[in-house]
Structure 1
Amino acid sequence: MLPILFGICIFVLVLVYMAITKTTSKYAQIERFPNEYFYSDPLTNKKEKLPSLFDPPTKSLSVIVPAYNEEARLPVMLKECLEYLEMRTKSDNAFSFEILIVDDGSSDNTTKVSLQYSLKYGCDKIRVLTLVKNRGKGGAVRLGVLSSRGRNILFADADGATCFPDIEKLESSLKSFQDSLQNGKCESIIICGSRAHLEQEAIATRSFLRNLLMHGFHALVWFFAVRTVRDTQCGFKLFTRKAAQETFPSIHIERWAFDVELLFLAEKMNIPIGEVAVKWTEIEGSKVVPVLSWIQMGRDLFLIWLRYTIGAWAPKKK
Structure 2
Amino acid sequence: MAERKNKYSVLLPTYNEKDNLPLIVWLLVKYFTESKYDFEIIVIDDGSPDGTLEVAKQLEKIYGKDKIVLRPREKKLGLGTAYIHGIKHATGNFIVIMDADLSHHPKFIPEFIKKQKEGDYDVVSGTRYSGDGGVYGWDIKRKVVSRTANYLTQVLLRPGASDVTGSFRLYKKEILEKLINACVSKGYVFQMEMIVRATQFGFSIGEVPISFVDRVYGTSKLGGSEVAEDEDELTDSEISWRKFIKDNNYVAIGTLWDSCDGDKETIGKVILLPDKQTGGIKSRTFVNVTFEEEYNGGELGISVKYNGKDLYDNKWDFCSIDENEEEEDRQVFCPYKPGYHAWITDRKVPKYLPKGTYFSKTWLTDGDGELVACGFSEFVL
TM over 0.5, shorter chain: yes
SS of residue paired to 2:166: coil
What residue in structure 1 maps to residue 101 of structure 2? 159
Matches of 2:41 and 2:105, distance apart in 1: 16
More strand by share: 2
TM-superposed deviation, 1:227: 2.8
SS of residue paired to 1:149: coil
Contact 1:139–1:255 at 8 Å: present in 2 too?
no
Change (3 A) 1:304 1:250: farther
TM-superposed deviation, 1:166: 1.2
Structure having greater relative contact order (Cα 8 Å, sep ≥ 6): 1
Find 2:78's aligned residue among 136, 141, 149: 136
Matches of 2:208 and 2:133, distance apart in 1: 17
Matches of 1:279 and 1:212, distance apart in 2: 17
What residue in structure 1 maps to residue 276 of structure 2? none
1:81 aligns with 2:28: yes
Opposite residue 58 of structure 2, the aligned amino acid is: Q
Find 1:245's aligned residue among 170, 177, 183: 177
What residue in structure 2 maps to residue 114 of structure 1? 56
Matches of 1:204 and 1:235, distance apart in 2: 17
SS of residue paired to 2:47: coil
Q: Alpha carbon RMSD of aligned pairs, Å?
A: 3.5
TM-superposed deviation, 1:103: 0.5
For residues 20-45 of structure 1, give each alpha carbon's deviation from its aligned partner in whole angstroms, at most 9, with x where no partner exists: xxxxxxxxxxxxxxxxxxxxxxxxxx
Matches of 1:82 and 1:305, distance apart in 2: 42
TM-superposed deviation, 1:259: 0.7
TM-superposed deviation, 1:115: 1.2
Contact 1:226–1:263 at 8 Å: present in 2 too?
no
Matches of 2:190 and 2:124, distance apart in 1: 16
Matches of 1:242 and 1:230, distance apart in 2: 23
What residue in structure 1 maps to residue 17 of structure 2? 70
SS of residue paired to 2:186: coil
Matches of 2:228 and 2:51, distance apart in 1: 28
TM-superposed deviation, 1:244: 1.6
For residues 196-225 of structure 1, give each alpha carbon's deviation from its aligned partner in whole angstroms, at most 9, with x where no partner exists: 148996599733x33442333223322444
Find 2:142's aligned residue among 210, 218, 228: 210
Contact 1:217–1:294 at 8 Å: present in 2 too?
no
Structure 1: gaps (5+ residues):
1-57, 90-94, 179-187
Matches of 1:223 and 1:272, distance apart in 2: 20
Find 1:101's aligned residue among 22, 31, 43: 43
Matches of 1:304 and 1:189, distance apart in 2: 29
Structure number, greater radius of gyration: 2
Find 1:191's aligned residue among 116, 120, 124: 124
TM-superposed deviation, 1:287: 2.2
Identity within the alignment, %: 23
Opposite residue 309 of structure 1, the aligned amino acid is: F
Opposite residue 209 of structure 2, the aligned amino acid is: A
1:37-52 matched pairs, under 5 angstroms: none
Contact 1:191–1:237 at 8 Å: present in 2 too?
yes
1:306 aligns with 2:254: yes
1:262 aligns with 2:194: yes
Opposite residue 10 of structure 2, the aligned amino acid is: V
TM-superposed deviation, 1:104: 2.3
Matches of 2:109 and 2:129, distance apart in 1: 17
What residue in structure 2 maps to residue 126 of structure 1? 68
Tell me whether 101-110 or 218-227 shows the greater mean CA deviation. Answer: 218-227
Contact 1:203–1:211 at 8 Å: present in 2 too?
no
Opposite residue 192 of structure 1, the aligned amino acid is: S
Matches of 1:86 and 1:117, distance apart in 2: 16
